Amino acid sequence: MAGSIDSISAVTLAVADMPRSVAFYEAIGLRLVYGGPDAPFTTLRAGEAFVNLRRAADQPGARWGRVILRVRGVDAIHREISARGIAAPTPRDAEWGERYFEISDPDGIIVSFAELL
């Protein structure tokens, strides 16, 4: 290929309850940049990338997905999230060279916080 893929710009997630989902993603440290609790589409900033939420309450069925956020200070982030009342397992070192922990958003989408070791 002549070009290269350098990063992911955004991930879009289908959510059942926009107000609940916006509150969750703001509580874990993402910043609202477009839309909001009453909007059908919302964008939140995660560093230089974005997490988009699309209201999909009219689409029944199980939702599943995983978003992996590359972070610095995974233990500090864990403490902050836990202090906000979000249950999160203790970060652990993985054999693939990351220290990480995972939580689930209100729709069951897994959000992983991973720091390179």
Is 70 strand, coil or helix? Answer: strand
- What confidence score (pLDDT) does residue 36 get? 97
Give the domain CATH number at 87.
3.10.180.10
Answer yes or no: is 3 within a domain: no
**Torsion 9-14-17-18 (CA) sign:** positive
Number of domains in the chain: 1
State the Cα–Cα distance between residues 30 and 49, nearest whole angstrom. Answer: 10
User: Which domain range does residue 51 map to?
Assistant: 10-116
Beta strands in the chain (DSSP E): 10-15, 31-34, 41-46, 49-55, 66-70, 92-93, 98-104, 110-116
Is 105 strand, coil or helix? Answer: coil
pLDDT digits (tens, 9 = 90+) for 58-109: 665 556 678 888 888 999 999 999 999 999 999 999 998 999 999 999 988 8
Answer yes or no: is 103 within a domain: yes
- What confidence score (pLDDT) does residue 60 get? 59
Answer yes or no: is 50 within a domain: yes
pLDDT digits (tens, 9 = 90+) for 20-72: 999 999 999 999 999 999 999 999 999 999 999 988 866 655 566 788 888 88
